[in-house]
Amino acid sequence: MTIKIKCPAKINLTLKVLGRRPDGFHNIESIMQTISLYDYLTVSADAAEKFEINLSGNSKEIPYDETNLVYKAVMLFIERTNLTPHKIDIYIEKNIPVSAGLAGGSTDAAGTLYGLNKIFNEPLSKPELHSICAKLGSDLNFCLEGGRQMASERGEILKPLEFEKFSLSLIKPENLGISAKEAYTKFSDKLNKGFESTFGKREDFQNDLEWALIDDYEELKALKKLYPEAVMSGSGSSYFSVNKEFTPIENYWIANNLQSIAQGVCVLD
């Protein structure tokens, strides 16, 4: 059986970092919103004599092996459902930029769990899917639900908020990706040192991680000077602007005329 899954990106309308947890992660409070920028997964599963998991896709920036969150999602699904041997093939059509703070990897992993659950006639309940999502990463639970949510603790605790429709645009330096680990490490270091950004105090930023990162990257400083109202999403390096388009800039990826959407990962109509 084959199924195609639509996996939306997310933006962080706000992101406040509350402190480091005993497990090494940080507690956060963040208003997250799914948007009309999608990866697409083609998921196939057929009975076989032994398990075989094959990942492929159109991007040269992501691995197609056991280090990919999609592969890890498949393994946890197999473990949780006691699935009999199958050959599982997943093609990842990657449109969401990598290391951009848009949850591209997380939404693909959440979409994998959602798609496999559909293929095998929903052996897992929604709470069970959320339990697996929480094991894989901090944004997966939100990507499964979508819409507008207040995310807290590591990001896995969600409180639905009233959906608002708006248009937005994204911009990202083509050759700059920032990992969540780097962003949170710099946040902790700068907080401890009493850092002051040249762009304002921490409370002046909608995203605490932007405060921690912007002074370290010429590309981000240039963006903020051009578009002072733009806000970094997640751990960067993408920025969004609501109801305003970005003009073309050399070496910057731009997506205009996107929309807020009320749905998370889903079967393609």
Question: For residue 245, what are the CA distances in angstroms to 61, 97, 266?
Answer: 27, 18, 28
Tokens of 117: 């659950």
**Eight-state DSSP code of residue 63:** -
Peptide bond into 237 cis (omega under 30): yes
Is residue 190 among the annotated active site residues?
no
| CA 3 centroid distance within chain | 22
What is the rounded CA–CA span in Å between residue 124 and residue 114? Answer: 9
Catalytic residue among 39, 139, 172, 224: 139
- What is residue 71's three-state secondary structure? helix
Is residue 10 among the annotated active site residues?
yes
Catalytic residue among 6, 10, 186, 190: 10
Q: Are the CB atoms for 134 and 141 separated by under 8 Å?
A: yes
* DSSP-assigned letters across all residues of 173-220: ETT----HHHHHHHHHHHHHTT--BTTB-GGG-SBHHHHHHGGG-HHH
Please identify every residue annotated as catalytic: 10, 139
